[in-house]
Amino acid sequence: MARNPQLNKNGELQHLLTTEGLPRDVITRILDTAEPFAGVAEREVKKVPLLRGKSVFNLFFENSTRTRTTFEIAAKRLSADVINLNIATSSTNKGETLLDTVDNLAAMQADMFVVRHASSGAPYLIAQHLEATGRDHIHVVNAGDGRHAHPTQGLLDMYTIRHYKRDFTQLSVAIVGDILHSRVARSQIHALTTLGVPDLRAIAPKTLLPHDIERLGCRVYNDMREGLRGVDVVMMLRLQNERMQGSLLPSAQEYFKFFGLTEDKLAVAKPDAIVLHPGPMNRGVEIDSAVADGRQAVILPQVTFGIAVRMAVMAMLAGGNA
Amino acid sequence: MSLPDAEKLLADLAAQMRPQVTPDTALVGLHTGGVWLAQRLHALLGLTQPAGSLDVSFYRDDYAQRGLSRDTRSSALPFDVEGRHLILVDDVLHTGRTIRAALNELFDYGRPAKVELAVLIDRGGRQLPVAPTYCATRLDLAEGTRVKLAQDGERLALRLLPEQE
């Protein structure tokens, strides 16, 4: 591809589709911009007028209450009008194609699409279609596509790590769990390597690792205690029961025994290591309650920071078009 | 052209404000020059409330044209705005658009009893009905010239800048 489809000719963010290939300067700018947005939630009026009069369409072809809600809150705190479409239960069932749906909503003066889709690449397809038809004033944010990417989750994780640990170039970071099926893991890995993390580890059973994981810059561990030794950051992943095909795992109990994060296993990490989880958590499967509710968990701050990061992304996309 | 001495203007501004403030009055500096000024005025006027700061980027009327500024900072008002006497502080008053944005942002924190405006320099060129309550000096500057406050060690100084675009 001639240029990064996420950036306009001035190198500014046009769509947010993936953290892969996103320049370090752009990632850093998103994180920097999110900081003042975090303060907006502390005020009497938790709103700023940047997206007043703009229409943001949440196009969820796959269900997700939490991600949809955080995008909705972010857009509303920017004063946008938000329209939620759960298309899993809508016109596609009547036979309408993805791009027909997009064209119809564009005809209703949409300014931004937030897209979640079970197929990898669906947000790209929409972005390309909009540009090919001369509607580059409409922006696309990928809210999770298949196994491919979930860039705002990856970015909010970067914001969280930076909040607690400041300098990425000094960190040991472990990503633990079902990396094979995880778009979150992919978005985290690309962002962490771009931001210069020198020691990135992938901890998982062999059956839940993608074959190209080392090429992405991760060192692979199949043992939790070896992989967690001395790390600053532990990024847990959800065991994606709904994406499991065949028998990749013996049982949830067996998985917890070897790969569930317990206080005992966490003890080999640095004493001030932080624990992240993108939610929703399967307690007693990938994470023990004592850790999930413990002093090292930053799982609820992740949710709060996620709203500020999504506000920053939307505000960076929607401005400067005129 | 020679610019006036910022330290002298600051002393004049403090002298104008002193009879009008109470210990509970709060200053709100506008990024960046206004924040430095508010900190200096806070000490000169002996106020008890800490000085606040506003970055009005989220309220600017040129967002649709220019997008969000690259170095947007957090606003911080470390006091209750409700019912308080507030004085917005900025280095240079020009079109009045920054003050419009600041007033809008301020009211998202609460309903102040009174809002006034203190500036070091009024350079004219207003595009909105905004007038300073306290102003150290008026300066006629050619369109295309920009003047800005700078920190020179402990001291404040005025600088001429080339107009952007």
Query: pLDDT tens digit string along A79-110?
Result: 999 999 988 766 566 667 899 999 999 999 99
Tokens read off for B26: 């709060």
DSSP A245-258: -S-S-S-HHHHHHH
Contact check, Cβ <8 Å, A49/B104: yes
Smallest Cβ distance to B58: which of A12, A50, A322? A50
In a domain, A88, yes or no: yes
Question: How many contacts, defined by CB atoms under 8 Å, are there between A and B?
Answer: 59
Q: Determine the Cα–Cα distance for residues B81 and A105; give it in Å rounded to an integer.
A: 42
Q: Is the pLDDT of residue B36 over 50?
A: yes
User: Which ranges of B46-157 would DSSP assign to H, the alpha helix?
Assistant: 63-66, 97-106
In a domain, B1, yes or no: no
Cβ neighbors of A250 (< 8 A, separation 6 or more) are: none
What b/e sequence results for A53-82 when a residue is b if at least 16 CB atoms lie within 10 Å of its CB, and e otherwise? Answer: ebbbbbbbbbebeebbebbbbbbbbbebeb
For residues B4 and B139, the answer to whether their CB atoms sit within 8 Å is: yes
In a domain, A249, yes or no: yes
| Residues of chain A found within 8 Å of residue B83, distances taken between Cβ atoms | none
Burial class (CB in 10 A: 0-12, 13-18, 19+), A128: middle
Residue-number span of the structural domain to which A143 is assigned: 24-150+304-318
**One domain for residues A221 and A284:** yes
pTM: 0.94
Question: For chain A, which ranges sit under pLDDT 70?
Answer: 1-3, 89-95, 242-247, 321-322
Q: What are phi and psi of A117, to 5 degrees?
A: -150, 145
Question: Which CATH number goes with the domain that contains B120?
Answer: 3.40.50.2020
**One domain for residues A189 and A203:** yes
Nearest CA in chain B to A13: B67
3-state helix, strand, coil in chain B (%, to 5): 30, 30, 45
Nearest CA in chain B to A54: B64
Alpha-carbon distances of A93 from A86, A263, A269, rounded to whole Å: 11, 46, 48
For residues A23 and A12, the answer to whether their CB atoms sit within 8 Å is: no
In a domain, B68, yes or no: no
In a domain, A212, yes or no: yes
Q: Determine the Cα–Cα distance for residues A300 and A12; give it in Å rounded to an integer.
A: 31
Q: Which amino acid is at A286?
A: E
pLDDT score, position A75: 98
**One domain for residues A140 and A182:** no
Domains of chain A: total: 2
User: What pLDDT digit, counting tens, does each position of A169-221 carry?
Assistant: 999 999 999 999 999 999 999 999 999 999 999 999 999 999 999 999 999 99
Q: Among residues 21-80 of chain A, which lie with CB inside 8 Å of chain B?
A: 29, 32-33, 35-36, 38-40, 43-45, 47-50
Smallest Cβ distance to A45: which of B64, B65, B108? B108
In a domain, B124, yes or no: yes
Question: Which CATH number goes with the domain that contains A207?
Answer: 3.40.50.1370
In a domain, B128, yes or no: yes
Report the SS3 class of residue A159. Answer: helix
Domains of chain B: total: 1
ipTM confidence = 0.90
For residues A119 and A108, the answer to whether their CB atoms sit within 8 Å is: no
pLDDT score, position A192: 98
User: What pLDDT digit, counting tens, does each position of B67-110 carry?
Assistant: 998 889 999 999 999 999 999 999 999 999 999 999 999 999 99
**One domain for residues A136 and A196:** no
pLDDT score, position A1: 45
